[in-house]
């Protein structure tokens, strides 16, 4: 089964400004990753955190080579660990990790909690 992947930036205005001592936030800038296999779509997202020198553009740039490899393989058999091994911990890795877990759950009909042996929330 073919595999396609994508990543995009999404701008979510906040209903009310979020204020803390170091500033005000009026929107959430989110990176969304989608991994598609047939009719199934795994989705993951993350919010790049400026405190760790992350930006939306930087996260998208980190994801680009990994997503290209997943697309090139295209067999539907994803080596989850290998895909994540090339990314440092952070927003890019989180978004891809969540999308891969979500897709696996949808393809197998087994929840992420069950697949990992964790208690069901």
Integer CA distances (angstroms), 56 to 5, 22, 112, 113, in order:
17, 20, 27, 29
Give the CATH class of 3-109: alpha beta
pLDDT per position as a tens digit, 76-120: 567 788 888 889 999 999 999 999 999 999 999 999 999 888 887
> pTM here?
0.87
pLDDT attached to residue 95 = 97
Q: Is the pLDDT of residue 35 over 60?
A: yes
Contact 54, 89 (CB under 8 A): no
Task: Spell out the domain ranges in the chain.
Answer: 3-109
Q: Is the pLDDT of residue 2 over 80?
A: no
> Which of these, 86, 108, 99, lies nearest to 4 by C-alpha position?
99
pLDDT attached to residue 82 = 81
pLDDT attached to residue 36 = 92
Contact 28, 14 (CB under 8 A): yes
Q: Is the pLDDT of residue 59 over 90?
A: yes
Tell me the pLDDT of the chain averaged across its residues: 90
What count of other Cβ atoms lies within 10 Å of the Cβ of residue 101? 18
pLDDT per position as a tens digit, 60-81: 999 998 888 876 655 556 778 8
CB within 8 Å of 94: residues ≥ 6 apart: 44, 46
Q: What integer is the mean pLDDT of 40-50?
A: 96
């Amino acid at each position: 089964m073919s595999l396609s992947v994508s990543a995009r930036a999404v701008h979510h205005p906040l209903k009310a400004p979020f204020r803390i001592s170091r500033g005000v936030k009026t929107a959430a800038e989110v990176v969304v990753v989608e991994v598609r296999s047939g009719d199934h779509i795994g989705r993951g997202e993350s919010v790049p955190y400026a405190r760790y020198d992350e930006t939306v553009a930087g996260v998208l740039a980190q994801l680009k080579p990994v997503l290209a490899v997943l697309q090139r393989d295209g067999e539907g058999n994803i080596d989850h660990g290998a895909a994540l091994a090339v990314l440092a911990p952070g927003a890019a890795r989180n978004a891809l990790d969540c999308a891969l877990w979500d897709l696996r759950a949808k393809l197998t009909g087994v929840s992420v909690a069950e697949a990992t042996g964790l208690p069901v929330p």
